[in-house]
Amino acid sequence: MSEFIISVEQICKSVSDSTGTLDILQNIDFALKARETAAIVGASGSGKSTLLSIIAGLDTPTSGTVRLGTQDIFALDEDARAALRAHRVGFVFQSFQLLGNLTALENVMLPLELDGRKDARKLATEMLARVGLSQRLGSYPKVLSGGEQQRVALARAFVVKPAVLLADEPTGSLDFATGETIMALMFDLNREQGTTLVLVTHDPAIAARCDRRITIEAGRIVGNSTHANP
């Protein structure tokens, strides 16, 4: 059994068009243990979001692989990768990615229902209460503020108790104060559930709250440092 919950092994990603080949990621290599928190930082266009998509198995590398525990995710077909994500991986996006035709409660219930959980409504209700939205269960995304929508997204991500949470600029669409509140809630939930967190951020203050900081420049890791958080 691997001691690492995520192993990113020599990931390369290139795309080609009529002008030639562009190397987006080159020889990305790192591993994270259970409960570890890691920030992926770097300038726009450095390859951070592409890396996160590959870790999730939503995008495929040109070479290299990613393991969740001992499972090579790219040894699986798309359906099997989707099933693995449903059971083990949660997502939080900058743009929330809520379904507009579903209420807050229905959005959070959805991953549980897809997993066949009979207690989906109870668990989703409890998780929305945990993020402070007990009064908004029947509200649709269009009437929720940005901060409320991101709270729903956090509830949806954590309700399945994922082993891994991937977050792509989770405060990028929020004002500073709301973003601070959302990040505090994300880290609290992460500690409560013992999740391994990987987040992409431009914010050095958010990165400083993580155990590990992975810096990418032009598709290469140029820094991989750890520090103890209080």
Specify the DSSP element, H or E, that contains 224: strand 220-226
- Report whether 113 contacts 122 (CB < 8 A): no
Question: What's the mean pLDDT when you consider all of the chain?
Answer: 91
Q: Give the amino acid at 53.
A: S
Residue 2 has pLDDT above 90, yes or no: no
Query: 43: closest CA among 173, 202, 170?
Result: 202
Please count the other Cβ atoms lying within 10 Å of the Cβ belonging to residue 17: 7
Entry field: residues in the chain: 230
pLDDT digits (tens, 9 = 90+) for 162-183: 999 999 988 888 888 888 989 9
Residue 228 has pLDDT above 60, yes or no: no
For residue 221, which phi and psi values (nearest 5 degrees)? -75, 125
- Report whether 54 contacts 216 (CB < 8 A): no
Can you give the pLDDT at residue 92?
Answer: 87
Give the global pTM: 0.88
CA 205, distance to chain mean position in Å, is 18
Can you give the pLDDT at residue 76?
Answer: 95
